[in-house]
Chains A and B, each alone.
Chain A
Amino acid sequence: MKILVLAEINDGELAEDQTSKTVSAAATLGKVDVLCASNKCADASTKVAKMDNVENVLILEDDLFAQSLAESYSETLIHTISSYSHVFAPSSSFGKNVLPRIGGMLDLMVISDISKVISEDTFERPVYAGNAIQTVQSIDKIKLISVRTSNYSAVPLTGSASINKIDCKSKNTLTTFIENKIQTSDRPELTSAKVVVSGGRGVGSKENFEIIEGLADKLGAAVGASRAAVDSGFAPNDWQVGQTGKVVAPDLYVAVGISGAIQHLAGMKDSKVIVAINKDEEAPIFQVADFGLVDDLFKAVPEIEKKI
């Protein structure tokens, strides 16, 4: 068994939480190598080398990888990747974009969004928006696996892996990067935050969403949103929690004005404690909430913020 983890690095910056939790999942099978492919790898590789259970860090420094475009994974790099028996990546927009393309190139299936490693060829993964958990066994010679990172904890930083450059000539004649519109925020990252405050359709407008943001800031929380809120333009797409958005599992999830559609629950029902505020006492969110308050959010949320 030889295990590789693809580190997520965006324009030289390591997505530390996602990468560390992916290492954590992969390490249930043994020691791992980590591939850092980006335009700048110094910082990222230093951080990765400290992650427990990492044996070797492979660096591929090339401007082509700055935006992680999937076409940059050329045949030479695929050749390196195919010397492993297992390749793990986070089930983030990076992993979901790149890993199946590698699968297509090598004629391998991808085992998407696993929630548990059972053995070296058997894994659990949620299907039907988390309404069922499937155990699957792979017969592929190389297992390509993306990891639902909210199911894993970050690895301790007690390691000291060796760092080695690899040399692969890559080219991408197919796609060109134009621009990123990335929200910068002082708030914690949604997928790794200890506390998340989310708003739904009930919030009513983009301006009203400040109520949600105010409570989040008071709690040092990340801000999330239901699909309905994002579709209505109340909140940006990268705040969406659910089957097709982000999957979160914070210590505390506060759902405000969210009815609790199956697709939303799929993204947050593994949270430790769920608190729901909704004026409709029949709202399905109360079926999964540990603590519920039936009240008008416009009255309740500012008062809660004041009292905390």
Chain B
Amino acid sequence: MKILVPVKRVLDYNVKARVKADGSGIDLTNVKMSMNPFDEIALEEAIRIKEKGNAEEIIAVSIGVQQNQETLRTALAMGADRAILVVASDDVHNDIEPLTVANILTAITFKESPSLILCGKQAIDNDFNATAQMLSAKLNWSQATFASEIEVKKDVVRVTREVDGGLQTIEAKMPAVISVDLRLNEPRYASLPNIMKAKRKPLEEISPADLGVEMTQRLKIIKTKEPDSREAGLILENIDQLVEKIQENVGG
């Protein structure tokens, strides 16, 4: 079977987001960009499934600007077999909504017929947490969100999900869309030989129009502002002072 893994290029996990002075968004010029950490986990899982002999091919897809190529090269170096870049914008500041991403991925799914689509549960930039669920609905496939364990069986995939009260296990009929959570695995680093090899792996470039998908935007971003900041408070001298502060604020 084939596994499709969408990967998003986002502001690096370790870089602090800076709000642009004019309130138009987050400044993404000359900052380090990386693969969304949740997508890295999804890709790692796909590679492990393939290594166990349960998949033949892994296709990484990225949607955005030309520079997303770098993210796809990373995916290929980690272990994806080939990559598809959907160039959907020429401005890195133009974030593509999950609904449009789901439409593009639906079209790619029709073309590629994967049995499994592994997505990160959310992108750490827009924090929507929606693409996998929307994609799954559009395909009328089963969905398993927030996976912390995935076991591929014959016609089903058994998924343990991180839910508010603890863990839930479900079985999803294949084909399925799975969104992955933090504790599923620890993604590998690409080795130097694999980075070199990745340069020769196929990377196809297409546009949303090639797929017959219209770019839409349902949410207009009116303004982006800094959150209310908290001031650093008092450093207390001893435990007794701290006990007093706790007691004052515990409310009886």
Interface residues, chain A, with chain B CB atoms under 8 Å away: 10, 67, 69-71, 92-94, 96-105, 107-113, 122, 125-140, 173-183, 191, 194-195, 219-220, 227, 230-231, 236-238, 243-244, 246, 251-252, 254, 262, 269, 272-275, 277, 281, 286-295, 300, 303-304, 307-308
Pick from A251, A262, A277: contact of B242, CB below 8 A.
Answer: A277
Q: List 16 A-B contacts (CB under 8 A).
A: A100-B130, A101-B134, A104-B133, A110-B99, A132-B226, A134-B223, A138-B219, A174-B172, A180-B163, A191-B164, A286-B235, A287-B230, A290-B234, A290-B245, A291-B234, A295-B239
9 nearest CB pairs, A to B:
A104-B137, A104-B134, A100-B133, A174-B142, A100-B130, A290-B233, A128-B17, A109-B218, A182-B165
Bound Cα distance A101, B247 (Å):
45
User: Which B residues between 98 and 113 are near A, CB-CB below 8 angstroms?
Assistant: 98-99, 102
B133 A94 Cβ-Cβ under 8 A? no
Interface residues, chain B, with chain A CB atoms under 8 Å away: 11, 16-17, 19, 26, 38, 97-99, 102, 121-122, 124-138, 141-146, 148, 156, 158, 161-173, 181-183, 218-227, 230, 232-236, 238-243, 245-247, 249-251
Among residues of B, the one whose C-beta sits closest to the C-beta of A173 is: B173
B167 A181 Cβ-Cβ under 8 A? yes
Q: Which residues of B have CB within 8 Å of A274?
A: 230, 233
Pick from A122, A129, A219: contact of B127, CB below 8 A.
Answer: A129
Pick from A132, A227, A254: contact of B227, CB below 8 A.
Answer: A132
Q: Is the interface of B mostly helix, strand, loop or mixed?
A: mixed
A175 B144 Cβ-Cβ under 8 A? yes
Q: Which residues of B have CB within 8 Å of A275?
A: 242, 245-246, 249
Bound Cα distance A82, B148 (Å):
33
Among residues of A, the one whose C-beta sits closest to the C-beta of B132 is: A100
Bound Cα distance A286, B181 (Å):
29
Q: A109-B218, A129-B127, A130-B227 are in contact. List 4 more A-B contacts (CB 8 A).
A: A109-B99, A132-B224, A244-B122, A289-B233
A237 B222 Cβ-Cβ under 8 A? no
Q: Nearest Cβ distance between residue B19 and chain A, in whole angstroms?
A: 5
Q: Which residues of A have CB within 8 Å of B245?
A: 273, 275, 290-291
Q: Nearest Cβ distance between residue B108 and chain A, in whole angstroms?
A: 15
Most buried by A among B98, B219, B221: B219
Q: Nearest Cβ distance between residue A10 and chain B, in whole angstroms?
A: 7
Q: Nearest Cβ distance between residue A35 and chain B, in whole angstroms?
A: 18
A180 B168 Cβ-Cβ under 8 A? yes
Bound Cα distance A108, B218 (Å):
8
Pick from B19, B26, B127, B136: contact of A101, CB below 8 A.
Answer: B136
A100 B98 Cβ-Cβ under 8 A? yes
Q: Which residues of B have CB within 8 Å of A243?
A: 124, 127
Q: Nearest Cβ distance between residue A231 and chain B, in whole angstroms?
A: 7
Bound Cα distance A191, B241 (Å):
28
Pick from B97, B136, B232, B234: contact of A287, CB below 8 A.
Answer: B232
Among residues of B, the one whose C-beta sits closest to the C-beta of A97 is: B145
Bound Cα distance A111, B222 (Å):
14
Known: A101-B134, A304-B239, A304-B243. Contact between A292 and B223, CB under 8 A? no
B168 A262 Cβ-Cβ under 8 A? no
Known: A178-B169, A290-B234. Contact between A308 and B218, CB under 8 A? no
